Structure 1
Amino acid sequence: MSGRVHTGLTVLGLVFTAYLAAAGLFWTSPVEQPPVFFAALVFYLAVTWLCVLWDAGRRPPGGEEILRRDRPLPLWAGALALIATVAVPSATWYAVGPAALTDSFATWTLGGVGALLTIVMVRRRPVIAWIGVIALAVTATAWIGVIKALTVGVVGAAVWVVTAQLLSALVDRAGVDQAELAAIQRRSSEWLATQEGRRRERRVRVQHALEVAGPVLTRTIEKEGRLDDTERQRARLAEGALRDELRGPRLLDESVRARLHEARSRGSIVTVLDEGGLDGASGDALDSIRADLANVLEGAESDRIYIRTSPHESVAVTVVGRSRSEEDPDGEEVVDLWREISHPLGEGPEGEEEGEGRRSRPPLA
């Protein structure tokens, strides 16, 4: 509820209840106990305005009005309303005397108390409001009889309370629908932002692929596939770079791409695989992991280099290099490079070597 609407309803409640109370001042016959009459009127206005103004200016830190359903009327205020429901009509009828019980300046209390109980209903105390309706009916019946009670105001008070309860339920439902719509809009905005990010990333990947493979493909078409050794080497490097872009884009930045190009230029066969271990990594964490990966690849001379993301909770990337022994070129490959790059926010393993965030193992024979 906006601040202006809330303020307007508050002013309307104050003015309307004051108008109902003012109706009791137009006496058409003498009042036997004027002090009692005025005391009942003042007590009515005090309790009613308390229910209207309670918590009226409270705002959350964000500055938005708190919905009334979040802040029901306190029980002590509801108890005062019930006391007023019985005390105000009884005191008024006692003050005017038996001869004026059904005059308009004596029965104003039925409409006034009906307005009070309507306010209690709006302030999220339906049980107290309906107890008040029953108490008002019993009190009016005891003073002026059933027929008079029904014709001069009890029915109207009950109708006001019923209407207030229905309107409150409709407002609550509208608030729930509005919250659901806002959540749907928020999810839609997030989905559109995600799709736009993916489209932008695809455009960047395609542009990079064209920059890498475009010249090689053009040269291949021009020479009808008859390439010399240098051109074949360039084609092999371009193919490897494209595979990296497809299989492990989150592991790549300009520094890592340069180290991979250098390793392939030295004759190494490099395989890069992103198998989902970096799904939850932030941008800063990826930058740190890429920097560590570039340091590991710098100067790596293994015949085969395997770079894989790791599903382990502390290890982000594993780098393994395998080579054949110089003494036995035809023998089996041995592991001559092993690095495990840890997540930046994870606990570093004991016995770290060669830089923070990496673990090394000795070559395996």
Structure 2
Amino acid sequence: MRLTVRSVATALGVIFAVSLAVRALWWTAPPTHPRMLAATVAVFVITAVVAALAGQHRRLKMPLWTAFATLAIGVVIPVTACLALPPEYLREPYATWYIGAVGLLGVICIVRGRRLFGWALMAALTVESIVWIGLGDALGLGLVGSFVWMVVAQLVVTFWRAAMRDTDRLASIQQAASAWQATQAVRQRERRERVQYALSVAGPSLTRVIETRGDLAEEERVEARLAEGRLRDEIRGANLLNADARAAIEAARRRGATVTVFDEGGLDDLDEIARERIRSELADVLHDVPSARLIIRSARDAEVAVTVVGRTAAGESADDDSVELWREIRRTVREAREPDPPEDAQSTDA
């Protein structure tokens, strides 16, 4: 059996209730109504056990019906306990057991989240004990101790809840830190992969440039230009590229086109399936495009993920270029709509 704070507290409460019951039945003088006293003790023990255990497997807070029953029984216990004894014995140690008993019921109510019922029990106990034995005797025979129990229980519950909130906050902070570390690890791996890719792409061209001191053949110059373009693409827009998109961009550059790729976070909040769909569609758009200048841009937009603009080099400046391709790749796939019927059909139906 696994011990928990709740099980230990419940066991202590039950043990204390039984000890109070034994104290009540340890008579030094015979009560006037022994059956009434025994019944009162039995009802107290049952009430304490039910208050401590009712609904505990579902939640810590005491069920409302249990709280009302505990309050009602706690108000009745001092009356029946005092009526069962002769007036001259009401101040005996065994006769004032009800002060500790009702205080214990109030503590159970506070611990189980019904503090209003607990303090209502304490108020009723104070009034009843003063009525039966007087203020001074009530304070000296256990009322102060019951108040101390109640205050300690209230403080413990308050501090426990604060500790639970701090624990939950610390757990959320730890989860956020773990997620941040995982993100940083992924980014570091991506940076290492990009560096390795850059070395594999630019390494041979740089080695050849050093060997020839810049005196490259025409084919080698083309390869160096392509390597430079690939490096720029990986730096500016690696998130937009897959194998097909890279191949389409390189094919466009080999045809003599100037390709510029800008990634401004348009795909950051999409899952990998949506990203792969957009990259494949981008590769399809770039396939066999005759434009002399291609601009691929991904910005943060509610509907458009990637915009592809194709221009023809009609003049010496970019302002003189004419747009011959404008393609927008949507973030989500639009559902196909059925075409509207022709107007003649509508008039015929009418």
* TM-score under structure 1 length normalisation: 0.86
CA distances 1:73-115 after superposition (whole Å, capped 9, x unpaired): 3444333333233311211111122232122322111111111
TM-superposed CA distance for 1:5, in Å, is 2.6
- Name segments (4+ residues, structure 1) moved above 6 Å: 348-351
2:213 is matched with 224
TM-superposed CA distance for 1:350, in Å, is 9.7
The CA distance in 1 between the partners of 2:165 and 2:223, in whole Å, is 62
CA contact (8 A) 2:311 2:325 kept: yes
CA contact (8 A) 1:288 1:344 kept: no
1:34 is matched with 34
CA contact (8 A) 1:289 1:344 kept: no
CA contact (8 A) 1:268 1:303 kept: yes
| Match for residue 91 of structure 1 among 80, 83, 86 | 80
The CA distance in 2 between the partners of 1:324 and 1:198, in whole Å, is 38
Do residues 338 (structure 1) and 326 (structure 2) align? Answer: yes
TM-superposed CA distance for 1:241, in Å, is 0.6
> 1:290-309, aligned counterparts within 5 Å?
290-309=279-298
* Percent of residue pairs identical: 43
AA aligned to 2:45 is: L
CA contact (8 A) 2:311 2:323 kept: yes
TM-superposed CA distance for 1:42, in Å, is 2.0
Unaligned runs of at least 5 residues, structure 1: 59-65, 352-365
The CA distance in 1 between the partners of 2:280 and 2:180, in whole Å, is 31
Q: What is the aligned residue count? A: 337
CA contact (8 A) 2:54 2:63 kept: no
AA aligned to 1:138 is: V
Where 1:104 maps in the other structure, the secondary structure is coil
> 1:264-343, aligned counterparts within 5 Å?
264-323=253-312, 333-343=321-331
Unaligned runs of at least 5 residues, structure 2: 340-350
The CA distance in 1 between the partners of 2:70 and 2:50, in whole Å, is 10
Q: Which moved more, 1:337-346 or 1:87-96?
A: 337-346
Distance 1:40 1:192, change over 3 A: same
TM-superposed CA distance for 1:33, in Å, is 0.9
1:57 is matched with 57
CA contact (8 A) 1:274 1:309 kept: yes
CA contact (8 A) 1:251 1:290 kept: yes
The CA distance in 2 between the partners of 1:55 and 1:32, in whole Å, is 38
The CA distance in 2 between the partners of 1:313 and 1:89, in whole Å, is 71
> 1:152-191, aligned counterparts within 5 Å?
152-191=141-180
The CA distance in 1 between the partners of 2:337 and 2:228, in whole Å, is 36
CA distances 1:194-236 after superposition (whole Å, capped 9, x unpaired): 1111111111111111111010000000111111111111111
CA contact (8 A) 2:129 2:138 kept: yes
Where 2:6 maps in the other structure, the secondary structure is helix
1:16 is matched with 16
The CA distance in 2 between the partners of 1:8 and 1:286, in whole Å, is 55
The CA distance in 1 between the partners of 2:137 and 2:48, in whole Å, is 25
